[in-house]
Amino acid sequence: MSTRTILVIGAGKSTSQLVNYFLNKATSENLEIIVGDISIENAQKLVGDHPRGKAIALDVFNESQRAKVIQEATIVVSMLPARFHIEVARDCITYNKSMVTASYISKEMQALDKAAKEKGLIFMNEIGLDPGIDHMSAMQVIDRIRDNGGKMILFESFTGGLVAPESDTNLWNYKFTWNPRNVVLAGQGGAAEFIQEGAYKYIPYQRLFRRTEFLEIEGYGRFEGYANRNSLKYRSVYGLDDIPTLYRGTIRRVGFSKAWHIFVMMGMTDDSYTLQETENMSYRDFLNLFLPYSPTDSVELKLRHYLKIDQDDLLWDKLVELDIFNPDKKLGLKNATPAKCLQRILEDKWTLAPEDKDMIVMYHKFGYELDGKRKQIDATMVNIGNDQIETAMARTVGLPVAMATLRILNGDIITPGVQLPIQKEVYTPILKELEEYGITFKEYQVPYLGYNPNNVGG
């Protein structure tokens, strides 16, 4: 068997476990791993001195350079930001290369489906954590219920990237385990849409973090979930077009959402306009931008009055902990939006320390009818990272991508076209292999509860 070349484009935080997987199998599978990134130093860190690994400087917007490395590859993995995949995908069509990404299928990517099928190419998307493991673990149970004659009547799914209990050292019970910008902008761009007991429901962004559902996970305590932007599209994806309840959400520790709502209400998560003179602005000055002018009242007094909270309220302690009242700390950002300024402040306190461990939590609820009775299965997955570099986030995003890539390469996944991992040929072997890396689900048969509005706060 001749050497097969896997081209990995992008050397970000989630790429480390992916590359490790390939390098560990490079000899037995006769692989050469090329990692290309705008920063060759970042790429080099991932391949180290492995004889079958190679780091290259790659500017994905350099058309001739991009085309050359794609032509030389056997298969391509794009770990770029989602909006940049399409440039790679078009070249993959041109040069007859299959491609794998962890990102949602964009309209531009979906438009390549016909061309990919005509050429027999597999463009596997949404095969990271969320989207990815969520799809596969959900479809495995949904297909099993259907195969046994059951009819789905409820599906709820929640995922969260959190800090592990042993590294939870702040009042927000949260640290950044993923792109901080995505956290700050979460929920924007339209109302959250879902369906509950046959009724369509919408939560506008300004109320999103005050409408939460409580979740209990054995051994890890209580969490809360807030709605993701559009749950309705998953009815057709999962073959649940007539299901009366379908809701997808994000997991946080209880109390996070209520505190985050303060930033939303004040306008500090807005990314649509640029503030003046942010480079030399202090954290305190930034906060004061959103408060009424007063020649006498302090920033603290104005904020307490504005939020109608007392000084001994835990919400107040959470704000103080962020050092947001500090007149000496400077933002140091030119022409920044409110969201970018807020991100800068949060990164001070929420960045993982070298020894910190992150934690991935996933929770599915499956309600179904079988033999005239209503039943429910709850399935949970918790995975904890090793440290700041070997994170659970990198593991749960990178490994499914790597496993799918190798299976496409070896002819185990054969369905062509632009797709996501909802077919048995994809999810069955990958979920089984993920168990070898400690990524496992616990299932519980529980009494059918349906959608309980008493579980929703706000």
The predicted-structure confidence for 246-301, as pLDDT tens digits, reads as follows: 999 999 999 999 999 999 999 999 999 999 999 999 999 999 999 999 889 999 99
Is there a domain that residue 413 lies in?
Answer: no
Q: Is the peptide bond before 244 cis (omega within 30 degrees of 0)?
A: no
Residue 199 is part of which domain span? Answer: 133-256+355-392+440-455
| pLDDT at residue 446 is higher than 70 | yes
pLDDT at 454: 43
| pLDDT at residue 8 is higher than 90 | yes
pLDDT at 179: 84
- Say what percent of the chain tops pLDDT 90: 86
β-strand partners of 176: 351
79 and 145 fall within a common domain: no
β-strand partners of 123: 99, 418
pLDDT at 178: 79
β-strand partners of 373: 370
Q: Which of 350, 378, 404 is the last residue of a domain?
A: 350
155 and 230 fall within a common domain: yes
Per the listing, tokens 């997991």 go with 251
Backbone angles phi, psi at 208, to 5 degrees: -55, -40
H-only helix segments in 185-280: 234-237, 256-266
pTM of the model: 0.91
pLDDT, tens digit, 9 for 90 and up, residues 403-424 = 999 999 999 999 999 999 999 9
Locate 149 and state its tokens: 């004659």
222 and 363 fall within a common domain: yes
pLDDT, tens digit, 9 for 90 and up, residues 375-407 = 999 999 999 999 988 899 999 999 999 999 999
CATH, residue 112 = 3.40.50.720
pLDDT at 349: 94
57 and 102 fall within a common domain: yes
Q: How much is the mean pLDDT over the chain?
A: 93
Is there a domain that residue 232 lies in?
Answer: yes
240 and 377 fall within a common domain: yes
Is there a domain that residue 423 lies in?
Answer: no
β-strand partners of 443: 379
Q: Which of 290, 317, 350 is the last residue of a domain?
A: 350
Mean pLDDT of 113-122: 96
pLDDT at 451: 56
Label residue 229 by pLDDT band (50, 70, 90). confident
Question: Exposure string (b/e) for 205-233, b if CB count within 10 Å is 16 or more?
Answer: beebbbbbbebebeebeebbbbbbbebee
Locate 392 and state its tokens: 């659970």
Tally of domains in the chain: 3
pLDDT at 453: 45
Is there a domain that residue 415 lies in?
Answer: no
| pLDDT at residue 238 is higher than 90 | yes
Interatomic CA distance for residues 206 and 188, integer angstroms: 9
Is there a domain that residue 233 lies in?
Answer: yes
Is there a domain that residue 403 lies in?
Answer: no
| pLDDT at residue 25 is higher than 80 | yes
Q: Which of 74, 98, 124 is the last residue of a domain?
A: 124
pLDDT at 452: 54
* DSSP state, residue 38: S
321 and 364 fall within a common domain: no
pLDDT at 190: 85
